[in-house]
Amino acid sequence: TALRLGAKEVFLLYRRTKDEMPAASWEVEEAEEEGVRILYLTLPVEVLGDGRVRAVRCLPHTLGEPDEGGRRRPEPVPSSCYELPLDTLIVAVGQVPEPIPGLPLGPDGTVDVDPDTGYTGIPGVFAGGDLVSGPASVVQAVASGRRAAEAMDRYLRGEEMNVEAPTLREVDKLKVLGRSWERERRPRVGIPTADPSERRRSPSEVVGTLSEEEVLREAERCLSCGCGVGCGLCERVCIHFAIELEGDRYKITDRCEGCGMCVQRCPLGTISLVPHRG
C-alpha cells in the first residue's frame, strides 16, 4: 500500500526469519516482488528525530533456543545497532482486544472461551471471531459466531449449552468402491497476476482471470466424477443444512462452516477442502 501511494522505498522490519513469519507465504513473496525490502532478524529499538521522525535505530538479532510456542527465540547481537534513515514510520504490530474487566484472556491476549460454545464464564457473555482465535478467516469467524448463537439460544432457554456434536465413522473408500481412483495428474492452470512493476504504480487488481483457452485446458482436467454416485450422504450429514440438491447438482450455500463432515463422509473422495485466497 505504501508503494502504491507513492513511497520511493519501503522497508519492513521483522525480528525473526522468513520461515517463522506468521504471514501467508504468497503475501511475503508478492511484497518482495514489488520491491519491499524485508529486514529479517531486525528489531527497531528507538525512533530518532526532532519534531519529525528522521530514522529508526535497529538492532540485529540471531536465533537462540525455542520459546514456549516452539519458535526459536530471537537474541540481540551485541554492539550491532545501526540507524535506518526514513521520513515515515508505520507501526504494524497487530491488534489486541480492548480489555474488559473480568474478561478472561489467554497468554496471547485473545479472549479465553469454551471452544464449543464461545462462553466466557461471565454470565451472559459470549465471544467469537478474531477476538478469540486471533487473525483467521471469515469462514472461521462465522462458524464461531454460529456455534455461539446456538449456545446462546440454549443458555436463554435454561438448557445445557454443551451439546455433543455428531461424529462420523471412518470409511475405507477402496473397500466401498472395489477399485482405485488414482489418475495421471496434470498441473492446474496458473492464474495470471499483474507484473510487480505494474502493481507498484497502480491500485488495480493484482490477480487476473483465465483466457478462454486456459479455461478449456483447465476443464479438460476434470475426471467427470460429478457428485460421485449421487448417494446424497453429504447432504444428509451436513448439520448446518448448507448443501442443497438442485436437480442433479449440489449447491453449497453460505451456511457452510467448513467443518469437513461432507469431506470425511464422501465415499468417492470427490469433495475436498482447499485454502481460499480472498
* Per-residue model confidence (pLDDT) at position 110: 86
- Are the CB atoms for 28 and 21 separated by under 8 Å? yes
Cell readout for 236 is 444428509
- Separation between Cα atoms, residue 208 and residue 191, nearest integer Å: 7
Across the chain, which has 278 residues, the per-10-residue mean pLDDT values are 88 89 83 92 93 94 84 87 94 72 82 91 91 85 92 94 72 56 72 82 81 86 63 83 78 84 81 69
Centroid of chain to Cα 164: 27
DSSP state of 112: P
Helix H or strand E segment including 60:
strand 53-66
Domains by residue range for the chain, with CATH: 11-85 (3.50.50.60), 95-164 (3.50.50.60), 169-182+223-278 (3.30.70.20), 184-219 (no CATH)
- Those residues whose C-beta lies under 8 Å from the C-beta of residue 95, and which sit 6 or more positions away, are 130
Lookup result for grid cell 530471537? 74
Grid coordinates representing 46 are 528507538
Give the three cell numbers for residue 112: 479465553
CA–CA separation, 71 and 225 (whole Å): 43
- As a whole number of angstroms, the distance between CA 58 and CA 45 comes to 6
With beta carbons less than 8 A apart as the criterion, state whether 233 and 265 touch. Answer: yes
Tally of CB atoms within 10 A around 216: 11
- Predicted pLDDT at 165: 66
Give the pLDDT score at 263: 86
Confidence (pLDDT) at 133: 87
| Amino acid 154: pLDDT | 94
Nearest CA among 191, 252, 199 for reference residue 218: 191
Task: Please provide residue 76's backbone torsions phi and psi, each rounded to the nearest 5 degrees.
Answer: -65, 145
Whole-number pLDDT of residue 168: 65
Point out which residues pair with 75 in neighbouring strands.
62
pLDDT for the residue 134: 83
| Continuous segment of H or E residues that includes residue 130 | helix 130-133
